[in-house]
Amino acid sequence: MSDLNHWVGIVTGSATGIGAATAQLLAARGAKVVINYSKSQQEAEETVAACQKAGGEAVICQADVAQDEDCKKLVQTALDAWGRIDGLVNNAGTTKIVPHHDLDGLSAADFQRIYAVNVVGPYQMCRAVRPTMKAQGRGAIVNISSLAGVVGVGSSIAYAASKGALNTMTLSLARALGPEIRVNTVCPGFVQGRWQRKWLGEGYADRIKREEATTPLGRAGSAEDMAEVAIMFLTSCANVTGEVIMSDSGRHLSFAPAKAR
């Protein structure tokens, strides 16, 4: 279905994973997309090629969203190529894998770097696209957060805390950027792919089986699942802003409330 032929978007961290899946699904509908990477140049080039093969247009931009000037460069790349920006997906993220009980495993520098990418980066990207979207009279922003930011789980306390901050920031930005710009957030649960393989190692296959056996929907999520929700927010849902939605096969329903004392 090619119904986004005049639509232009930026997807940060789009060399692999959810970002790449989002860019490719947008391209399949005819969109024009800026593919961003920090370090994974080869994978980013492969994503550009996949977008072009899918029927869309794509350009590449190396940028670290923790750096404000790089965020401005990403925006200018879109404007130079196509003269407008209709959507932004703040997908770039980072973490450090530390068990939650190991309070000595995280330093202040770890927190600062994780927050710089996961919270400050999206803020800077929203600020950078605001003038163009406001001038156009419309725009949509989707932040890719995590179930970790809702229930306090995940690769580390710093990561969970950063995603919780991103969820709260979504509410603030939705108020600040309306009525022209809508801001919403997707919170993935388990997502099959390279990152989870790296984190879980030999336990990766067992984790997929556990997701299939214990979630209400009986399935392990994919990058494409998350991309579909992001694109819903980007290209429809004209009456929705400030929404934080979980795409986790219902995993959040398994976290029982604390017992009364």
* CB-CB contact of 208 with 149 (8 Å): no
Q: How many Å apart are CA 140 and CA 159, to the nearest integer?
A: 25
What is the 8-class DSSP label of residue 203? G
Q: How buried is 245 (Cβ within 10 angstroms: 0-12 exposed, 13-18 middle, 19+ buried)?
A: middle
3-state secondary structure of 63: coil
Q: What is the dihedral of CA 46, 30, 60, 165, to 10 degrees?
A: -100
Two structure tokens written together for 16:
């692999």
3-state secondary structure of 244: strand
Q: How many Å apart are CA 152 and CA 174, to the nearest integer?
A: 23
List the end-to-end C-alpha distance of the chain, in Å, as a whole number.
55
Q: How many Å apart are CA 62 and CA 41, to the nearest integer?
A: 8
Element (H, E) at 226: helix 223-235
Two structure tokens written together for 199:
């984190």
The residues carrying an active-site annotation are 159
**Measuring CA to CA, how many Å separate 117 from each of 174, 181, 227?**
20, 22, 20
